A and B are shown apart, each in its own frame.
Chain A
Amino acid sequence: MPSSPLLPKMMKAHGVSRRSFLKYCATLTSVMALPPAMAPKIAHALETAPRPSVIWLSFQECTGCTEAITRSSAPSLEELIFDSISLDYHHTLQAASGDAAEHAREEAMKAHHGKYLVIVDGSIPLDEPGYSAIAGISNLDMLKETAAGAAAIVSIGTCAAYGGLPQANPNPTGAVAVSDIITDKPIINVPGCPPIPLVMTAVLAHYLTFGIPELDELGRPKAFFAESIHDRCYRRPFYDKGLFAESFDDEGARAGWCLYKLGCKGPTTKSVCATVKWNDSTSFPIQAGHGCLGCTEPDFWDNGGFYKPLSAPAGNYRRVGQAAVVAGVAAGAGGAYLAKKNKAKALAEHETVDAFTLEKEEGES
């Protein structure tokens, strides 16, 4: 690989001041919940680290994750960080195509064996290799082959992290997550549909400076996925007061009341959406008036409906309830009928006895 320019050079080329770079490092430090003293360390590490080779594999995905990371405001520092890594293969962003593109991947793998970072977006189909293939190579083969020499893997987006939308019921392609296939490499899951751009770049920055961040039981960096959206939501006071929007255009919705009854999944969704927010901290879905879909959680597509309150039953309760009413009334009536019949039968079969007969029976025995 040609010698890679370090970050200061890149900054100069993009017209980014050192001040804004340091500000960015401070932001990263704070969103990763690191002590403030770490900011200069991050800046130093980012400035001096050689650009690591990154291979970005896109499988069963919608390119939304790539869109999110590239559509941050321009010229963004997120973008700059991205430029500061050597993105050797990304079939949406790279200029090369066909064999040349595949050669770039193979070359990067050979040149940086054991050191390169693999980023995956999209899930992997297991049912039929042909469901998703790149240059005739099935996703499964490409992932296995590329992961073999990787230092670590970052699963970007819920599809790569947990199977996501392609895995939604009835999962026609047999889609699975990266961690379902690769078990011998460190995997950082950065779920979201898409993940927040700052979170993606902060995780990369953390990897470049301090290595693998501390992960939760679902493989997510704890710095970004430790608290629920509900706990940090600016509408939380309305939840606590018992004030809820009943529809998307009622008084409550206009007054910014809690969206729980409209299906918000904030209470069970861990992410920093409510604090870091999107589009340069402009807003996030709940602020825009729509409940959280829970997109950073596994199976979010199948978790009981986007517009159903979290507390509402998720099964086939209506039919079951109707059947229970019919069956209960019928069985109750049947039971009463049987009891009455038994009583009548007992009455009919009841033999009267008088003292004379009893005395006679006693005399005989």
Chain B
Amino acid sequence: MNNPNFDLLMFARGPLFDIALLVFVAGVLIRVVEILILGRKKDFSKAKGQPVQQGIKTIFTRTFPRPGAIKANPITIVGGYVFHIGFFIAFLLFVPHIALIEELTGLSWPGVGRVVIEGATVLAVIAGLALLYTRWKDPVRRKLTTWVDYLVLILSLLPLITGYVAVNKLFGDPTFMMALHVLSVDILMIVFPFTKLMHAFTFAMARYYNGSIQGRKGAES
């Protein structure tokens, strides 16, 4: 006799995780390595400013919204922050996740308690839903949005929702919900390299290029 829920969990953290890891790691590396090797066309003109310094500076300065941006798009900016910070607290400070990262890489750090993790999760989900809503409601943004954008946002929210449900045993068999949680992460890892989720790795390069181009021209960013 088998426990189908546990078998699903073992599939999600066994063979499917292996496939997801392969697609995720290889996919991200293919894109990042290709971008780095291709680089940008060499600019032979004499730099009027400091391209490297401005490039590095831009990586950090673009983390903060430009003046007036919060007023213009409060939900996008605030929701974006809350979602990202909440997601990373839940992902990187929940001890079972740290145990997973330690198993994969040998790196470990202390985690935080359940109140913080679950608070961050709830806020991140609310923020994600708000972002989804404004994207759908605003006619301009709606025109700019492809189905992949919706898919990516929903796939990013699923691990948070399923994890919360599984840990708190809100509904369904807890082992089954845990299997769904791991499955949702596997799927997120598989689509990662092929979608805009790649921004998690490419944002620094893109900001550096932008900053260095402006810096070469003598502008400050």
Contacts and interface: CB of A to CB of B under 8 A. Distances in A.
Interface stretch (B22-30, B119-127, B143-151, B207-215): B22-30
Contact of B33 (A219, A297, A314, A328): A328
A162 B1 contact: yes
B175 A268 contact: yes
A312 B103 contact: yes
B103 A339 contact: no
From A267, A310, A324, A337, name the one whose CB has the most chain B CB atoms within 10 angstroms: A324
Contacts of A323: 22
B38 A336 contact: yes
B99 A261 contact: yes
B29 A329 contact: yes
Contact of B1 (A231, A298, A317): A298
A35 interface: no
Interface string A314-345: 11111011011101110111011101100000
A317 B169 CA distance: 29
Interface residues of A, number: 53
B34 interface: yes
A327 B29 CA distance: 9
Given A297-B3, A313-B104, A332 B33 contact: yes
Contacts of B17: 313-315, 317
B96 A324 contact: no
Interface in B1-37: 1-3, 6-7, 9-10, 13-15, 17-18, 21-34, 37
Contact of A242 (B25, B100, B114): B114
Given A179-B1, A299-B2, A240 B113 contact: yes
A284 interface: no
B47 interface: no
A299 B95 contact: no
B32 A332 contact: yes
A161 interface: yes
Nearest to A320: B18
Contacts of B15: 315
A311 B29 contact: no
Contacts of A228: 174
B170 interface: no
B112 interface: yes
B157 interface: no
Contact of B37 (A163, A268, A333): A333
Contact of A324 (B21, B93, B99): B21
A268 B13 CA distance: 14
A209 B113 CA distance: 46
A255 to B, nearest CB: 15
B14 A332 contact: no
A334 to B, nearest CB: 9
Contact of B18 (A312, A316, A333): A316
B6 A260 contact: no
Nearest to B31: A332
Given A242-B114, A320-B21, A328-B30, A313 B1 contact: no
A261 B180 CA distance: 21
A148 interface: no
Contacts of A116: none
A340 B97 CA distance: 40
A260 B37 contact: no
Contacts of B190: none
B80 interface: no
Interface centre among A219, A239, A309, A328 (most CB of B within 10 A): A328
A309 B100 CA distance: 8
A313 B103 contact: yes
B49 interface: no
Nearest to A298: B3
A350 to B, nearest CB: 16
Given A180-B1, A298-B6, A313 B14 contact: yes
Given A268-B9, A325-B29, A332-B37, 4 more contacts: A244-B95, A328-B27, A337-B37, A340-B37
13 contacts: A162-B1, A242-B110, A242-B114, A299-B2, A299-B6, A312-B99, A320-B18, A320-B22, A325-B25, A332-B37, A333-B37, A335-B33, A336-B33
Interface of B: 1-3, 6-7, 9-10, 13-15, 17-18, 21-34, 37-38, 93, 95-97, 99-100, 102-104, 108, 110-117, 169, 174-175, 178
